[in-house]
Structure 1
Amino acid sequence: MSSSALVRHPAEAEAPAAAAEQAPAVTPPHQTATFGAMAARWYRLNKGRLRAIAVGSISLIVFLVAWHLLTKYRVVFFVRFTNVPSPLAVYDSFKRAIHDPMFLMHVALSCRRILLGFTLAALVAVPLGLVMGRFKLIHEMIFPVSEVLRPIPAIAWVPMAIMLWPTNEQSIVFITFLGSFFPILVNTLHGMTLVDPVLVRAARCLGAREAAIFREVYFPASLPHIFTGLTVGMGVAWVSLIAAEMISGQYGIGYFTWEAYSLVQYSDIALGMIAIGVLGLTSSLLIRAIGRLVMPWGRA
């Protein structure tokens, strides 16, 4: 055999390697099957959540379409839609508002008031509810007073709050505190009454003292009701805050909405209402998320 047959040209030697590099990578069949199984398992685990998201999205779309049609044709059927702004008008107001520092300041001040009032209410109502549920004497002393004050609406507290506190800011935070205090207190107290006494006796038999019983039995057993009270209290806190801002406030999303009504700016009224709803929903979702972190045993 000649030497020319044994020696290949460099281009011929590099051709198979180049062809191997240019060949598309083929995913092994077992990896494709694994990805499909993981996707199917993820869908089975999140099927209910995906369904809820889809149904919620469809309901929002139907609501917006109905709102658009009612305002476009100015329907009058018991309820008058002649002066109600359309969704497009509200969206135009939203585009202007997000570039307005004053609107952003209204939102920020309302959020700060909610944070202060709600946090103070939770820090006072949760321990007080636990103590009232554990000690009968304290329950008999405080419960009648709380039941007399609880039905008083937030609007009725505005004149008294103005007299009690030196500034409008403090009075608004106080009204927000009252709005969220009573739902948290009542739900915490209700959770304490539902604690299984067998668990308490078992803890005592194991040598647990009162502080340990509170920490290991009463508090964990009452947590679902406490977070229910926190969620309800957050909603009532927003109601109380908006009422206080409309009556005695100079800033805040409630004042923004009332000022828009005084200036006959209908689209800004709807924008303020939607902003209140979105802020309230966001804060409630945040509380539920914290509850799922604190109570991992309650997850489905």
Structure 2
Amino acid sequence: MNPLYRWPLRLASLAACLLFWHVAATQRLNLGLITFTYVPTPSAVLDAAVALVESSKLVAHLSSSLGRVFVGYLLAVIAGVLLGLAIGRSKWAEDSLLPPLEVLRPIPAVAWIPLAILMFPSSEASMIFITFTGALFPILLNTIHGVEGVDPRLIASARSLGAGRLAILREVIIPGAAPSIVTGLAIGMGTSWFCLVTAEMISGQWGIGYYTWESYTIQNYADIVVGMLLIGVLGMGSSALVKQLGAWVTPWYRIKGKR
């Protein structure tokens, strides 16, 4: 499709969703399985968003959530990439490290909250830990997949030219695995937001997740939607930023154009 038509099509799809939301909320549409009786209208959500922007709470909520995501995600990037490189290249590391990680991987973020509160002296550290666990496993698994997917002939060629283990890792393994690593980084950013919001709903005092949950407890339904939209926009924007940075550091990798 011509790129000139893609953005109008995307904007039209968003406009169609907004129109459906407006009609369903104003008409109190009841479809049996799902009802819009108590769903706020887009205009009510816009008013709530304006009120939040004009208040002093927005900066505090945003700074708290962004700080937690940044720290937890950065730690997950370091741990996930290093562990993934080790497990992908070493049978010993795979046999000793991967089994306990695979046991921990299916545990949802909400299940970590009680234990995180017991393990860490502050709620701030526990929320960063939950964000870390959410981002860790997508990064780890994609790194392992990328390392194992490197063509063995490239490694053999590098060895035949006299390259050592560190040179092979730096010049062959990491560049070859980089596209998969970038994919894991983008997925990990999205899951880190999901896990952070879950943690903030239970043990936070500031943050977008806490704001959303607090709005629910006091039945400010428009504020709930504002919080949800903020989470969506922040998650989408941060994931897009990671993808853009990944495209910048992997100029040799190009995804085939979609029709």
Partner residue, 1:220:
175
TM-score between the two structures when normalised by the length of structure 2: 0.96
- Which residue of structure 2 lines up, in the alignment, with residue 113 of structure 1? 68
2:19 partner amino acid: V
Q: Which has the larger radius of gyration?
A: 1
Cα distance in structure 2, aligned partners of 1:53 and 1:97: 29
CA distance in 1, matches of 2:2, 2:68: 36
Instruction: State the secondary structure of the residue aligned to 2:69.
Output: helix
Determine if the alignment matches structure 1 residue 257 to structure 2 residue 224: no
Q: Corresponding residue for 2:24?
A: 70
Cα distance in 2 for partners of 1:135, 1:239 equals 32
Among residues 41, 59, 63, which one is paired with 2:13 in the alignment?
A: 59
Q: Secondary structure at the match of 2:134?
A: helix
Where structure 2 has 5 or more consecutive residues not aligned to the other structure, the ranges are: none
Unaligned regions of 5+ residues in structure 1, if any? Answer: 1-46
2:202 — aligned with what? 247
- What residue in structure 2 maps to residue 179 of structure 1? 134
For residues 202-240 of structure 1, the C-alpha deviation after alignment (integer angstroms, 9 at most, x for no partner) is 000111000000000000000010011111111111110
Label 1:109 to 1:49 Cα distance change in 2 as closer, same or farther (>3 A). Answer: farther
**Counterpart of 1:298 in 2: which secondary structure?**
coil
Q: Matched residues in 1 for 2:238 and 2:5: separation?
A: 23
Local SS of the residue matching 1:175: helix
Residues 72-118 of structure 1: per-residue CA shift (max 9 Å, x gap): 10001121111100000000111111111112211111011100000
Take 1:115 and 1:263, find their aligned partners in 2: how far apart are those partners? Answer: 30
Any residues of structure 2 matched to 1:151-166 within 5 Å, and which? 151-166=106-121
Structure-1 residue corresponding to 2:242: 287
Write the distance in 1 (CA, Å) between the matches of 2:6 and 2:102. Answer: 38
Deviation, structure 1 residue 48: 4.0
Q: In structure 1, give the amino acid aligned to 2:80.
A: A
The 1-side partners of 2:6 and 2:187 are apart by 22
Aligned to 1:211: 166
- Residue by residue over 1:233-264, the C-alpha shift from the partner in whole angstroms, topping out at 9 and shown as x without a partner, is 11111110010000111110000000000111
TM score, norm. by length of structure 1: 0.83
Instruction: Name whichever of 149-158 and 52-61 sits farther off.
Output: 52-61
Aligned residues: 254
